Structure 1
């Protein structure tokens, strides 16, 4: 009897860590929760009835935007076990910066960097500061492996890489202030992440945004890539997701 109870407890703990949250035909599985502000953050992946992923995302629960330390936050969100190896994405990183970052007057407001990484956690952690390995930062992906109109932002960031932005976004084009934008990343010649970057204040406005992804024309790593991305208030939660996953070669 004790053995059966232990097995039941183990099964319950596993289900709590990788919970199925939708109807059986189109399940959504969630990864382990982490504390953020007065709430939680976790990853999730939704599947179609044919067991192919359709969306990968982040949920910030009620209170997650409140009482975040001014010193900043860096959370690594593991993917649910059911999703491992089903998409090109390896893990998700949430960074919160209370005073933002360069360039001044553009992204120097409180915001979240939500990195969906293609590269492994170990490879990402091994990225040094720019002065240590400038040749690797400056080894840019070949034409076609990033959206054609994207421009490189200066230098590079340790444990992240080079950031690429859309010059037509309002904050860079001079037509409006930064609320949200989509960043791409690279390191040592390879595309490495997709990053919705979102102002803290914008997330408090109960957003309902869905946009078409600016896409590369070539993919070094074949797999399911998003056609759209969304930033939405869903009940008391906020969901940021890469959606419409489609097989790209």
Structure 2
């Protein structure tokens, strides 16, 4: 009987190991406080070790007790993401009164920048009047989605923002809830940014959309085909999904 139990235990261990090998791993970055909750980055891989999804989670309470002065939070990516995706870090900005243009984005919202630029390089971007030539050095055709338009001037430590003129808030068909922004600086595409209102994040969202994609990529790597904004249990999860190798 004892021998049988030992054999059954060994078989169970072998089955457990086999099962674990078929589970796609997820790795998380360090968490930071936001509101009454926390935020942390993460990356998911397929079972054959290819990156499949990159994003961040805001835990229960993260939307509460946010300062009127705003938040600028840098989320470092997990170590396992380094060299696996073209993205360097995530910048999570909260603006209680929003920003320009008036009547469009001047509501409480989050700017969720997924930066391709290195952190030090991004932080060195000055105000527009200091280096207008670098802001106005736009990426060549194909490196920004073809239907996107440039928004005026540029933002220090960010760059130029590009938006879809067909989005409800820009086309006059509705108010701003969420939209997808691209960014550039000195001739290169530098970030992808879901921009999402506080109200929308509080509404238990369950959104997945196809990405508007450029046709060219200056930096080869795994880029998203979709993006998602979802309530998962008590958490809010924002992700760039269906990562695919683009040359």
TM-based fold match above 0.5: yes
Alignment map for 1:128-139 (pairs within 5 Å): 128-139=126-137
Q: Could you tell me which residue of structure 2 aligns to residue 66 of structure 1? A: 64
CA distance in 1, matches of 2:228, 2:123: 27
CA distance in 2, matches of 1:89, 1:237: 23
Per the alignment, in what secondary structure is the counterpart of residue 33 of structure 2?
A: strand
CA distance in 1, matches of 2:208, 2:156: 30
Whether 2:110 is the aligned partner of 1:112: answer yes
Q: Could you tell me which residue of structure 2 aligns to residue 194 of structure 1? A: 192
Q: Could you tell me which residue of structure 2 aligns to residue 99 of structure 1? A: 97
Query: 1:24: Cα distance to partner?
Result: 6.5
Q: Could you tell me which residue of structure 2 aligns to residue 156 of structure 1? A: 154
Q: Could you tell me which residue of structure 2 aligns to residue 121 of structure 1? A: 119
CA distance in 1, matches of 2:21, 2:241: 19
Alignment map for 1:199-218 (pairs within 5 Å): 199-218=197-216
Q: Could you tell me which residue of structure 2 aligns to residue 4 of structure 1? A: none
Q: Deviations over 1:35-94 (max 9, x none)?
A: 000000010000001111100001000000000000000000000111111000000000
Q: Would you say the 8 A contact 2:111–2:195 is kept in 1?
A: yes
TM-score, normalization: structure 2? 0.91
Q: Would you say the 8 A contact 2:21–2:47 is kept in 1?
A: no
Higher-Rg structure is 2
* RMSD of equivalent CA atoms: 1.0
Q: Could you tell me which residue of structure 1 aligns to residue 219 of structure 2? A: 221
Structure 2 unpaired stretches of 5+: 1-19
Per the alignment, in what secondary structure is the counterpart of residue 176 of structure 1?
A: coil
Q: Could you tell me which residue of structure 1 aligns to residue 138 of structure 2? A: 140
Whether 2:234 is the aligned partner of 1:236: answer yes
Query: 1:118: Cα distance to partner?
Result: 0.3
Structure 1 unpaired stretches of 5+: 1-21
CA distance in 2, matches of 1:141, 1:24: 41
Query: 1:25: Cα distance to partner?
Result: 2.2
**How many pairs were matched up?**
228
CA distance in 2, matches of 1:185, 1:24: 37
Q: Deviations over 1:150-184 (max 9, x none)?
A: 00001000000000000000000000000000000
CA distance in 2, matches of 1:98, 1:196: 17
Q: Could you tell me which residue of structure 2 aligns to residue 52 of structure 1? A: 50
Per the alignment, in what secondary structure is the counterpart of residue 77 of structure 1?
A: strand
Q: Which runs of 4+ in 1 moved over 3 A?
A: none
